[in-house]
Amino acid sequence: MYKAIIVDDEKMIRMGMRKAIPWNTLGIEEVYVAKSGKEAMEMIEENKPEIMITDINMDEMSGLDLIDRVKKLLPDIRILVLTGYDKFEYARQCIKLKVHDFFLKPIDETQLIEAVKKQVAYLNEKKAEKVVNFNINRAQAVAEQMNIERFLRCLVHRRVQNLEEQITVFCNKYKYIYTQPMQAAILVPTLYMDNGKYEENFIALSVKNICIGMVDALNRGLTFIDDYERIVIAFFLDKQKGSILEWIQELNDILSDEYNKKPKVVVGNPVIGFEHLYISYNDAVSLLKYEKDDLGEIIQTQYAKNRDNLYREVFVEMKNAMCVNIGDSDKVLYIFNRFRQATDSYNLSDSYIRKSCFELASSIYYTFICNTGEEADSRLSILLKSLMNVKGNELFELSRQFFIKLLANKEDQNVHEIIDKAKHYIKENLADELSVSNIAAVLYISPNYFSRLFKKVTGEGCNEYIVRKRIEKAKLLLETTNFKASKIAMMVGYRDTNYFSLAVKKNTGMSPTKYREEFQKV
């Protein structure tokens, strides 16, 4: 059954068509009506009808504009146009938009029914063709799968004659790469084998189909059965797509859920190219002897284990070094750059890199929170969401920017802490000798660095700030006490009374004595 929509700005016409046509008899179960192109688009986006009958002249959006937009959304929709205007330009535009029928109003009811019936017949024919094509493609896919499995089985058991030539033919036919890096894995048979033959073993066939869906269908590798009726997967190594250990774990989780039994997988060493696949396969076969002694779900060769362990050792060392040097952003970023180079050496997948980057960020962030006493916020969760949506070099760049912003914030805090301490020292020691040098010495930083820092944060030079604070205090003392100007000068750090008078006059336009007199008048 199909769905149709009628679009016309005249209510009598659209409702008349809805009632006059025996839609159910024609094979149409849902009929929508819209009074404008805008309303029609909303209905079409939501309901996806297969047939549209529309007027041309409507407010807001013309029928021709509606057809153009609908065709982009539903390229296969069947469109009938009704119009009260006999204009050649309309007909020309309809042909250009590939409208399937064009009628002038008023249209005979029988004629309209035949037009709808014609479109339904076309849709039925196309549906039948799809079913036939699907069955043909499915049968061809089964045959091709059998051919691929047969070739791989012969390949790992070394029965292929003219090896280089046959692999080339195979790769050209199925669009594989001759020198594709690969790694063989064998599912330990205890999961799926019983006393019957493989062809009669329903569980074995089910397990194999799950593997094909999880591996072959996602272009992660090829699944086949070896001479001993074991399920073998030739994984393709591709750091952009993921790590085979992660894929195997994902597959194991699904098999475990399906069959309530933990599967085991033995994995051979990586090899380059189809012609060396048998080596990785033989590695995996040799591990089958020891699978009962290994408690893990994924059993690897010692070489693979050593390689993974070595990476973890290097990673942990770098992570600890970054945490120790959290106060030195340059050092942290230098170590992170070394980590980035290490990932290239170990040929890690994007998924594994993503996990490592987040682990680094989590450790650095935890150390940052502990050292600064800051409350935890959402920065880490935001980073995780961002990392999940990128790959390749973007993973490193996002992580790098996270470290820069985090440590910059820490440095900003330190800067403001230094300036706050400087201001407090100035306030408490206005009567004493104050200079950039002695303040910097108290804060254990260089005078040049302190001078630049103070100007950057406050917007004024340190000496300028000291003078301003001394004059502010001097004015307060002149307003609220009867102390002589000479004594006030000493109290705010001026040893020379004349210099003090000049400073006050520059700020207020008056001498200290005059300023007091003017203030008392007020």
| Nearest-angstrom CA–CA distance, 190 and 6 | 61
The per-residue pLDDT for 164 is 93
Please name which of 210, 208, 191, 190 lies closest in space to residue 199, comparing C-alpha atoms. Answer: 208
| Nearest-angstrom CA–CA distance, 96 and 219 | 41
Residue whose tokens read 């194999």 = 208
Parts of the chain with a pLDDT under 50: 410-411
CA atoms lying within 13 Å on the CB side of residue 442: 15
DSSP codes joined into one string, 303-368: HHHHHHHHHHHHHHHHHHHHHHTTT-HHHHHHHHHHHHHHHHHTT--HHHHHHHHHHHHHHHHHHH
- With a CB cutoff of 8 Å and minimum separation 6, the contacts of 55 are 7, 8, 9, 10, 13, 63, 81, 82, 83, 84
The CB density around residue 76, as the number of other CB atoms within 10 Å, is: 8
pTM of the model: 0.48
DSSP codes joined into one string, 122-155: HHHHHHHHHHHHHHHHHHHHHHHHHHHHHHHHHH
CA 61 to chain centre: 38
The per-residue pLDDT for 455 is 85
CA atoms lying within 13 Å on the CB side of residue 239: 14
Ramachandran category for residue 190: left, alpha or beta (phi over 0 → left; psi -120 to 50 → alpha): alpha
The per-residue pLDDT for 90 is 63
| Nearest-angstrom CA–CA distance, 460 and 466 | 10
Please name which of 230, 192, 232 lies closest in space to residue 212, comparing C-alpha atoms. Answer: 232
CA 430 to chain centre: 56
**pLDDT tens by residue, 121-170:** 999 988 888 877 766 766 677 788 899 999 999 999 999 999 999 999 99
CA 137 to chain centre: 34
The per-residue pLDDT for 242 is 62
Q: What single-letter DSSP state applies at residue 374?
A: P
**pLDDT tens by residue, 295-335:** 578 888 777 777 777 888 889 999 999 988 876 788 889 99
| Nearest-angstrom CA–CA distance, 179 and 197 | 35
| Nearest-angstrom CA–CA distance, 348 and 32 | 54
Structure tokens at 406: 């985090």
Beta strands in 361-514 (DSSP E): none
| Nearest-angstrom CA–CA distance, 471 and 459 | 19
CA 206 to chain centre: 33
| Nearest-angstrom CA–CA distance, 71 and 98 | 9
Structural domains in the chain, CATH included, are 2-127 (3.40.50.2300), 162-299 (3.30.70.270), 306-407 (no CATH), 429-521 (1.10.10.60)
| Nearest-angstrom CA–CA distance, 297 and 285 | 16
